[in-house]
Amino acid sequence: MFRPRFPVIAQFCTAILLLIQCTTSSEARSYETEHYKLDLVTVASGLRNPWALAWLPDGRMLVTERIGRLRFVEKSGKLSKPIAGVPKVAFAGQGGLLDVAIDPDFKTNKLIYFSFSEPGGGGRGTAVARAVLDGAALRDVRVIFRQFPKSGGGVHFGSRIVVARDGTLFVTIGERGQREKAQDPSINRGQVIRIHKDGRIPDSNPFVGRKGYRPEIWSYGHRNPQGAALHPETGKLWIHEHGARGGDEINIPEAGKNYGWPVIAYGRHYSGAKIGVGTHKAGMEQPLYYWDPSIAPSGMAFYSGDKYPKWKGNLFVGALAYRLVSRLELDGGKIVKEERILTELRERIRDVRQGPDGFLYVVTDGSAGRIIRLVPTGR
């Protein structure tokens, strides 16, 4: 038997071997899908209720935690200390620090945008801020949108941010649990809004100058939209929104259109009661796709990379209640097939993103949330 001359070296070698074994066994688990076998590789862990991810040009990620922390994730997966300068958030219920988006010209202007539940007179409401990311701190932080009016309660903030091809910002906002107000365009409840990057209202918005309508509104009659992405070919905004006990929807919100909540919807209220007048009403739009019962969708991404060729052009939606990822196949502007993947993961999926490396990433929601890379290993 080999006996090392120096016991300290032997202990060190044993520790390294154990570390390698633990890392290998805990970082990757395999899951079968229709087209691929996937290894799920944990990129970062130990996050407290992470909500969103975004990539910086240097390959690092920004990740939000609802508690009010914004952090870097290094390429190695190491988490930074919290970035300084994040404003106070109302961390309660579904509220906190929520989405984050990188300006397309970040290399020159260092701008980021983030949404959060902002405390203030009347309670709290969805707000969007922009800031310069200066090293490990935010400076020149300025709120460019505030939901009006604020209200009590801790639900339905919506809160996805999408930078449109024309440089404007789309922001989704929920109806704050006040479903009867989602049809009132004089306030901000259950809408997609559209603003310039500095908060100004685009002249081309559908309700500019119209009495009784807030000019930032793009579309209304939504419930709680927590997923949004631009179609890679058409450049159109797609969103999904939570239904009640059923009726989660995917919509392509068009300027000035009313998407019906709570007058029409699929599914029923949590009490079992009928929603509104049913599923149709003149002047109100039908969803492109819906789930009944509800999967509680959150996070959304179109796939346009080359790591999973058979998935190119597919839409991926995370699910909180059903703890899975829904893969949706498209035929033009229609959804023609759904495959539910990662059902064995048994973790709430909060966000789904395509990374600059072409891999899909999911963010799990929990007190020990993590970021996971989906790596295809063949079939």
Give the domains, in start order, of the chain with CATH numbers.
29-376 (2.120.10.30)
Q: Exposure pattern of 184-211 as b/e (b: 16+ CB <10 Å)?
A: bbebbbbbbbbbebebebbeebbbeeee
Spatial separation of the C-alpha atoms in residues 23 and 46, rounded to whole Å: 15
Spatial separation of the C-alpha atoms in residues 141 and 130, rounded to whole Å: 6
List the one residue out of 54, 42, 43 whose CA is nearest residue 83.
54
pLDDT at 372 over 80: yes
Tell me which DSSP letter residue 279 carries: S
pLDDT at 26 over 70: no
Q: What is the rounded average pLDDT of the residues 268-285?
A: 97
Residue 25's pLDDT band (boundaries 50, 70, 90)? very low
pTM for the model: 0.92
Residue 183 confidence (pLDDT): 98
Residue 19 confidence (pLDDT): 40
Q: Would the CA dihedral through 65, 69, 71, 77 be positive or negative?
A: negative
Residue 7's pLDDT band (boundaries 50, 70, 90)? very low
- Any idea which residue has 């989660």 for tokens? 248
Q: Is 156 a catalytic residue?
A: yes
Tens digit of each residue's pLDDT (9 = 90 or more) over 302-350: 999 999 999 999 999 999 999 999 999 999 899 999 999 999 999 999 9
Amino acid code (one letter) for 11: Q
The burial of 215, by beta-carbon neighbours within 10 Å (0-12 exposed, 13-18 middle, 19 or more buried), is given as: middle
pLDDT at 87 over 60: yes
**Coil vs helix vs strand at 229:** strand
Q: Exposure pattern of 276-291 as b/e (b: 16+ CB <10 Å)?
A: beebeeeebbebbbbb
Tens digit of each residue's pLDDT (9 = 90 or more) over 123-176: 999 999 999 999 999 999 999 999 999 999 999 999 999 999 999 999 999 999
Catalytic residue among 156, 222, 240, 242: 156
Alpha carbon 254 to its chain's center: 20
Spatial separation of the C-alpha atoms in residues 369 and 379, rounded to whole Å: 29
CB atoms under 10 Å from CB of 19, counted, come to 10
- 74-79 contacts, C-beta under 8 A, 24 or more apart: 77/42, 77/43, 77/44, 78/44, 79/44, 79/46, 79/47
Q: Exposure pattern of 315-344 as b/e (b: 16+ CB <10 Å)?
A: bbbbbbebbbbbbbebeeeebeeeeebbee
- Any idea which residue has 């688990």 for tokens? 29
Beta bridge partners of 193: 171, 217
Q: What is the rounded average pLDDT of the residues 3-22?
A: 39
**Coil vs helix vs strand at 43:** strand
Judge contact between 377 and 39, C-beta under 8 A: yes
